[in-house]
Amino acid sequence: MVKVVKFGGSSLADSAQFRKVMNIINAENDRKYVVPSAPGKRSKDDTKVTDLLYRCYELAAKGENIDEAFSAIMDRYNSIIKELGLSLDLTGEFEQIKSSMIHKAGRDYAASRGEYLSGIVLANALGYKFIDAADVIFFKEDGSLDSEKTNEVLSDVLKDCDNAVIPGFYGVMPNDTVKTFSRGGSDITGSIVARAVEADLYENWTDVNGFLMADPRVVKDPCTISKITYRELRELSYMGATVLHEDAIFPVRTAGIPINIRNTNHPEEAGTMIVAKSDGYDHQRVITGIAGKHGFSTIFIEKDMMNSEIGFGRRVLEVLERENISFEHLPSGVDTMTVVIASDALAGKRERIIEKLTAAVNPDSITLNDGIALIAVVGRGMQNAKGTAARIFKAIAEADVNIRMIDQGSSELNIIIAVDECDFEKAMNAIYHEYVSE
C-alpha cells in the first residue's frame, strides 16, 4: 500500500504542529511521499509565510529594504528547526533567496520559497529525501500544467525513492523560471504526486475533520460527510464549499485514487473519503451535503405559446452570449423561462440586456429580480429515495420561506432551490434539520 500525504499550512505552522505531522507520518509505513505547504497561521491574527513572502516581493519590487520583512520569515523556520532539535542550517538558503528577491526574481519564485523551505526542514526531520518541485513539476508556455511530462518525470524519479518530500504549490516553466499554482495549490501537487506513484490513497491533512454537510456559519455544528463522490463534491464546491483546491481533483480522479481529508489535530477522526463511485448509499443520509451562494439575479420571461416558438431559447441565450454573460441555470415552464445569472455579471448592462431581450423575443413580460440566493441540495441517495423533493419543499414551506425557483438536474444528484437572500439561512437550516435529526 502506498499513500501520498499532503499537509496544509496550519498543519505546519510551528514546531508543535511539525511534531504532529511527523507522528502521523511515522505511524504508518505506507505514508511514503509527503507534500508540505508553507507554515500557515499560528493564531487568528498571525500571517502565513506565503503572505510574508509576497510582502517581501512587493517591497523588493519597489526597491525598498526587505531586511525586516525577511527576518520574520527566517525567524519562523529557525524557531521550528531549533525547537525540533535539528542540526540544519538554512543560512545559505536564506541568503540566496534574499539576494534573488532583491535582484527582482519573480513574484511566483518568492511565494514558492515557503513550500521549498518547509520541504527541506521536513525532509531533514523525517530523514526522507528532498525533491525540489522545480525538477519534477512542469508547466507549459501558456501557464497550464504539463501533466503528461510531469507524470513521466515524476514517476521516473520517485520509482527509485522509498520515501520523499516534494514541496507543494510550485513547478517550473519551460524557460526555467519558477511558477506557482493559484493559492492553496499544494493540494494540486499532492494529487499529481499520488497519480505519479499510482498511490492507493491520497491523504490530505488539514485542520478540519473533513467536509461538513453544511456551512458552519449558517448551520450550527453540522455533521461531517464520511463519504462523498467526486461528482457530488464538484456540485458542492461549485456552490462555494471549500476545503480542497478545485484543480486537485482531476489528477487523482483520472487515476481512480480516492482522497481522504483528515485532521492533523484529530488524527483519530476518519475524515471524509472522496471516491469515484460509492456502492449503494446510506439510508440515513439521502442527502450528502447542502451548499449555498448569495448574489444572483433572475430574468423571468413570459410569453404565450412560447412552448411552440422554435428558437426562442436560442435567441435569449444569444443575447447573453453577445454580452459575454454566462448563465447559471435555466429552468423553464410551458410559457415561461427564467435565466439565473450572477448579479455581478450584469453590472452596467442591465437595461441594455432587457432591451435586447425584448427585441429578440418580444415577450409578454420580462422582469429582472435581484437578491436571490441559491441552495444546492446534493446527494447520490436522492436517485433512490422517492419523495426527496417533496420533503425538501415541505421543510422549506414549514419554515415559512417562499421558493422562487427550482431546478433539478436530470442526474437526480442535486436540486437547486432559489430563495430570497433574506430567507437563505432559514431555508438552509430547514433542509438540514429535515434530514439530520433523523
Q: Which residues bind ligand ASP (CB under 6 A)?
A: 8-9, 37-38, 48, 50, 114, 168-169, 183-186
| Nearest distance, CB of residue 265 and ligand ASP, angstroms | 17
Cα 300 from Cα 8, distance rounded (Å): 44
Cα 2 from Cα 194, distance rounded (Å): 9
| Beta carbon nearer to ligand ASP, 113 or 285 | 113
| Nearest distance, CB of residue 220 and ligand ASP, angstroms | 29
Is the CB of residue 305 less than 8 Å from the CB of residue 335? yes
| Beta carbon nearer to ligand ASP, 116 or 424 | 116
Cα 403 from Cα 387, distance rounded (Å): 17
Cα 211 from Cα 116, distance rounded (Å): 28
Is the CB of residue 84 less than 8 Å from the CB of residue 125? yes
Cα 352 from Cα 1, distance rounded (Å): 60
Cα 89 from Cα 87, distance rounded (Å): 7
15: closest CA among 89, 57, 75? 75
C-alpha cell at 359: 427585441
Is the CB of residue 267 less than 8 Å from the CB of residue 24? yes
| Beta carbon nearer to ligand ASP, 7 or 70 | 7
| Nearest distance, CB of residue 328 and ligand ASP, angstroms | 27
| Nearest distance, CB of residue 350 and ligand ASP, angstroms | 35
| Nearest distance, CB of residue 183 and ligand ASP, angstroms | 4
Q: For 99, phi and psi rounded to 5 degrees? A: -65, -40
How long a stretch of residues is the chain?
438
| Nearest distance, CB of residue 109 and ligand ASP, angstroms | 14
| Nearest distance, CB of residue 171 and ligand ASP, angstroms | 13
The DSSP call for residue 332 is B
Cα 279 from Cα 213, distance rounded (Å): 20
| Beta carbon nearer to ligand ASP, 122 or 372 | 122
The residue at minimum Cβ distance from ligand ASP is: 186
| Beta carbon nearer to ligand ASP, 116 or 312 | 116
388: closest CA among 283, 292, 291? 283
| Nearest distance, CB of residue 51 and ligand ASP, angstroms | 7
| Beta carbon nearer to ligand ASP, 13 or 81 | 13
| Beta carbon nearer to ligand ASP, 191 or 272 | 191
193: closest CA among 408, 2, 438, 407? 2
| Beta carbon nearer to ligand ASP, 8 or 379 | 8
- If you write DSSP's letter for every residue of 220-248 in order, what string do you get? SSPPBPSEEEHHHHHHHHHTT--SS-GGG
| Nearest distance, CB of residue 6 and ligand ASP, angstroms | 8
| Beta carbon nearer to ligand ASP, 9 or 258 | 9
